[in-house]
Structures are given as C-alpha cells and as structure tokens.
Amino acid sequence: MALLALVWSLPAMAGRLVVDSAGRKVEVPDRIDRIVAAGPPASVLITMLAPEKLVGWNRKPPPEELPYLPAAVRNLPEVGRLTGRGGTANIEVVMAAKPDLIVDFGSVSDTYVSLADRMQGQTGIPYILVDGRFANTVAALRLLGPILGVGPRAEDLAGRIENILRDIDRVLASMPPEARPRVYLARGSKGLETGNRGSINTEIIERVGAINVVDGGMPQGGLYNVSLEQVVLWNPDTIVTIDPAVAQHLRSDPAWAQIEAVRRGRIFLSPKLPYGWIDAPPSLNRLIGLQWMARLLFPDRFAGDIRTVARDFYHQFYQVDLNEPELDRLLEGAHGNSRMP
C-alpha cells in the first residue's frame, strides 16, 4: 500500500509532485516552512515531527498542557479544525495563516478525499492525506519526513517506534492467550460507553496483547453504550479509563464491586497530558500508552519503570524535559491500586 510516494515534477513546475495515501497527486513546494494540521491527529504528528513548522492549533491548549509541549508551539494561535465532527476552521483564517501545506493524518476514505479536494480547490493550498492507521505509523513518518524537510528527525522517531513494537512482539510471542489480561475501557459519565473490538479507541489495548472483553456482535470498530449487567458478565480483570471521575465512580459504586477488576483494585487512569495515552486523539501520542499498558499488564516482562520511560519518550518525541512535579502530575492515577487476588 502506498502512503506518500514522492515523484519529482518537470523542471518547469514550481515544486514537487507527491502521491498521497488516497492516490491523489498533489504539487507541494520544494521547501515547506508553514503547515496547517487539518485535525487533532495531524496536529500531534506535526507537533512531534516538525513543531517549528506548525502555524496554529485546532484547539488552543489549556495552561496545564503547555509544559508538556515543545516550546515552539506553546503560543501559537487557534485556527480551528478542518476535519471531524464540529469542524471549526474558517477558510479565511486558514488562508491568513499563509501555510505552504495542509496535512491530514487519519482516514483516507472518500469523505476525507472530498474535503481535501474541496479545500485545496477553494484555497489553492496543497492538501495531503496521510494514512493514520497505527500499523502504518513507521512508514508514514519515513515518507512524510523528507517531504517536510525533516528526514533525519523522522528516521530517529521511526527507529524508536520500531524498537517499541519489537519489544512488545518479543513478549507476546511467548505468551499464551489464557495468560493475557481481559481489559475493559470505561468511557462516558458512568463508565458504560466503551470501544468494540477493533475500534480505534481500543487499538492500543489490543496491540499490547490484552483481550478486549467487549464483543458487540457487530462489525469491528466504534464506540457504543453497554449495560452494567453486560460488564458484570464480561467480568474484566482490568479496567482502564481516561476520566478521573469515572475511576472514582467505579471504585465507590457498590454495583461495580462484584467485578474482578474492581475487587482487585485494578482500575487505571490513562494519563492525558498533553494528549491521551489511549486515544484522544488517535495519533503518535498513543505510543507512550502502548509502553504504559505493557508495563501495567505484564510488569515482570519489560525493563524500565514508567517514570523513566515517560521521561525518555517526552524528551525524544515532544522535545521537552519533564521535572519531578510534572511527572507526578502526568502519572497521577496511572498506577491504580492494584493487588493480586
């Protein structure tokens, strides 16, 4: 499958011709200094890969997120988002930012192709689509990096990701299915919204080798609501949530007390500064979530405690050096109160 196949144009043309993940041929400048991210996944990608080239936020980050972001992006203006539900970008605002390129990272379905074609036609700004599926992360970096003029940086990150995935696969190769934890992702105000098997929201849980207990009996993917009775029947041994209020609710509501994960204190809060470790958004931010989940679920099989791992990840991917209070804030609730039966 092609992601971004670089094709040089005729000398008379002012730039390069690229073929994006959707097969669209797009002429881009030889030098790209200013980028608009079409949505949050692309914003994370550019923040990690080439933060000095990002010209604005889809959503201006709140103060608590700023220490976890590269210095080059902390004071950027808000330009809105072009993709997803609740698109907020104004074409005039996007054009006023004078970007050399618009990048979208995620789905390359017909809906996103249509949006890219329409926006490019209206603004004259080159717009490329990059397949954002987690399995294609390494290839996406290695192909996008040279286009943006940051090939060595892209190779550095891609190599680190390969090492992370190789480490995960090494452990999984010797682990029988019956030894793998059974995990439930608790979302929504009462913890009863969750991700079906194969959903982008549970991708990290499944990639780390855990069993997502949720089988909605429908095509893979998507979020949907379940009953507490159903969760009791699934009886997960581990629960992960992205919301502190949900974690507290599950620990204190007697109706949840019969579930194995609650009895054992295995309710874990996913860190989310500056972005979620499980999803929100589904981009490169999930790589640290993969390392966290691996150590959470298989603590005797992976080297390095999560503080050290997180410090190193943020240094390499976000280009920030976290102090001890910042690490404390980041990891609050991430260790849960786990105990063996």
Quote the pLDDT of residue 5. 42
Tell me: the pLDDT tens digits for 14-70?
Answer: 699 999 999 999 999 999 999 999 999 999 999 999 999 999 999 999 999 999 999
Could you tell me what percentage of the chain is helix, strand and coil, using 3-state DSSP and rounding each to the nearest 5? 40, 15, 45
Quote the pLDDT of residue 86. 63
Q: Which residues contact 275 (CB under 8 A, 6 or more apart)?
A: 40, 44, 281, 283, 285
pTM attached to this predicted model: 0.92
DSSP 227-251: -HHHHHHH--SEEEES-HHHHHHHH
Topology match between the domains 5-165 and 180-331:
yes
Quote the pLDDT of residue 14. 61
Domain boundaries, the chain: 5-165, 180-331
For helices 306-313 and 324-331, give the axis angle rounded to 10 degrees.
110
Quote the pLDDT of residue 247. 96
Quote the pLDDT of residue 216. 72
Specify the 3-state DSSP secondary structure of 174: coil
Which CATH superfamily, name and number, covers 180-331? Nitrogenase molybdenum iron protein domain (3.40.50.1980)
Low-confidence ranges of the chain (pLDDT < 50): 1-13, 339-341
Of the candidates 22, 14, 17, the one whose C-alpha atom is nearest the C-alpha of residue 38 is 22
Which CATH superfamily, name and number, covers 5-165? Nitrogenase molybdenum iron protein domain (3.40.50.1980)
Cβ pair 138, 161 in contact under 8 A = yes
In the predicted model, what is the mean pLDDT of the chain?
92
Quote the pLDDT of residue 143. 86
H helices of the chain, in order, are: 40-49, 91-96, 110-123, 137-148, 151-172, 203-207, 228-234, 244-252, 260-263, 286-297, 306-313, 324-331
**25 - beta bridge partners?**
19
